[in-house]
Structure 1
Amino acid sequence: MLKTITPDTVKTSKYNKYSLPLAVAILFIFHAVGFWGLLFSGNQEYFQNLTPMNLLLTNALLFAFHKSWNRVFILFAILVFAVGFFSEVLGVHTGLLFGNYTYGQALGAKLWDVPLLIGLNWLMLVYTTGHISNYTKWHWLAKAILGTLLMLLLDFFIEPVAMQYDFWSWSGDQVPLSNYAGWFAVAFILQVYFQKANFEKQNQLAAFVYLVQLLFFVSLFFLL
C-alpha cells in the first residue's frame, strides 16, 4: 500500500531533521552554563540549586526521543526507577551495597533521606549506556557488561564533584571500593533487564546525553 505524501508530511519531515541537532545544542548549552556557574560565576550555591532542573530537562529531552511508549517500556522505566531509588535508600540507612554516605540538599526533595531524582538518574544512566552498548554487535551479556562499565566510568568522575557541590558526602571524605562494587552489581542487573526487555531501543539522543554528562563531570573533575 502506497503512503500518501502531503504538504504537512513534507513540513513535518523538514522540521524533524532539525530536532536532534537542536536537542544536542540545548543539552550542551545548559551544561555549559552550569559548568561556568559552578566554577566561575561567584554564586556557586545558586547553580547547585539548579541541578534538579538540569536533570529534569535532560530527561525530558531524552525521553522525548523515545519512540514507543508501550507497556513493556513503561514497566521497565518504573522498575529501574524503583530499584535505583530503593538501592540508595538501603545504602543510606544501612551502609550496605555502596558504603556509608549521606545526601546533601543540591538534588532537591527527599523521601527517606534520598532525593527522589536519584531514581530518575538511575533510569537515565541505564537507558543511555544500554543504547550505547547496543551499537556493538556483541552478545547481549557482553553488552550488559559494557553498559555497566560505562556507568562506572561516569560515576568515577562524578564522585569527587558530588562531594564538592553537596550532592552527597562519604564518611571520611573517601569513596570506598564498596561503592563501585555495589554500583557494578545493581547496574549489571539493570543492564541485563535493558537488554532482555522487549521495547524499541533506537533513541538518537541517548549517546549524546551520556557524552555531554561525561564531558561535564570530567571537566569539573580535573578543574576542582
Structure 2
Amino acid sequence: MNRILLCSLIIVLFHLVGLYGFLSPALEDLFIKLVPFHLLLMLLLMVLTVNERSADLIKFVIGIYLAGFFIEVIGVNTGRIFGNYTYGSALGVKLWATPLLIGVNWLILVYCTGVFLQQFNLKSRLLFSALGAGILLGIDFLIEPVAIRFDYWSWYGGIIPIQNYLGWYIFSFFLFLFFSGLNFRKENNAAIVLLFAQFGFFLALNMWAL
C-alpha cells in the first residue's frame, strides 16, 4: 500500500470515528478534548504526503501559519476583523486569548483547498483566489454552528455577524494569492481527501447534531 493511499485511509477513518464520537452523548466530552490531537495528526499526514521541502513550501507553511494565527489574535482581541467572539477550550493552549492551533487550522484549509483547485489549471490568480476564498467561506458556514455547539469559540450575543463571513472571504482571498504565487509541488491526493472529509464531517454534524 502506498503512502498516499494509507494516509488517505487514516484521514477517512479518523473523521468517521470523530463523527461517531461527536454524535454520541456519552463520548462527546472526550472527543472535544481530542480535537487538538486530531488537528496535529492531520497536519502530520499532510507533512508525510508532501514529497518536497523547497524554500517556497517552507515560506508557505510559515507564512500561512503566522498570518492565520495573528489575524485571529487581532480579531479576538479587538473585534475589528471578524466581529466579537471568544475562544473556548476545545482548540487547546492559547496565547493572547488565541489557540496556537488556529494557525494550523488555517494552514490545513488553505493547503487542501489550494491543491484541489490546482487540478483545474486556472490561468488567473485572481480567479483562483476568488474561488478558493469562496470554498473556505462555504466551509466556514458549516463550521460555525459546530464550533459554537462544541466550544471551539462563541459569539457575543449568540449571533454570528455578517462581518465574520466578509472577513473570512477577504482574508482567505489574500492567502490564496500568496499560495498561487509560490512555486512548490501542489499535487497531493491525500489533501483532497482531507478537504472532502472535513466538508463531510461538518455537514453531517450540522444535519444530525444541531
Q: TM-score range by the shorter chain?
A: over 0.9
Gaps of 5+ in 1: 1-14
Match of 1:151 in 2: 136
After TM superposition, the structure 1 = structure 2 runs for residues 171-210 of structure 1, keeping only pairs within 5 Å, are: 171-210=156-195
1:23 aligned onto 2:39: no
After TM superposition, the structure 1 = structure 2 runs for residues 62-77 of structure 1, keeping only pairs within 5 Å, are: 62-77=46-61
Question: TM-score, normalising length from structure 2?
Answer: 0.96
Q: What SS class does the counterpart of residue 189 from structure 2 fall into?
A: coil
After TM superposition, the structure 1 = structure 2 runs for residues 9-88 of structure 1, keeping only pairs within 5 Å, are: 15-16=1-2, 19-88=3-72
Amino acid in structure 1 at the alignment position of 2:57? F
Gaps of 5+ in 2: none
Query: For residues 88 and 45 of structure 1, what CA distance do their matches in structure 2 show?
Result: 25
Match of 1:170 in 2: 155
After TM superposition, the structure 1 = structure 2 runs for residues 103-182 of structure 1, keeping only pairs within 5 Å, are: 103-138=87-122, 139-182=124-167
Query: For residues 157 and 165 of structure 1, what CA distance do their matches in structure 2 show?
Result: 13
Range with greater deviation from structure 2 (156-165 or 134-143): 134-143
Q: How big is each residue's C-alpha offset from its partner over 1:84-132, in whole Å with a ceiling of 9 and x where there is no partner?
A: 0000000101001100000000111111111000001111111111111
Query: For residues 216 and 165 of structure 1, what CA distance do their matches in structure 2 show?
Result: 14
Deviation, structure 1 residue 193: 0.5
Q: How big is each residue's C-alpha offset from its partner over 1:145-167, in whole Å with a ceiling of 9 and x where there is no partner?
A: 11111111111000000000000
Question: TM-score, normalising length from structure 1?
Answer: 0.90
Deviation, structure 1 residue 134: 1.0
Would you identify which runs of 4 or more consecutive aligned residues in structure 1 move more than 3 Å? none
Question: Percent identity at matched positions?
Answer: 42
Deviation, structure 1 residue 137: 2.7
Which one has the largest radius of gyration?
Answer: 1
Match of 1:9 in 2: none
Range with greater deviation from structure 2 (125-134 or 157-166): 125-134
Greater length-normalized contact order (CA 8 Å, ≥ 6 residues apart): 2
Q: How many residues align?
A: 208
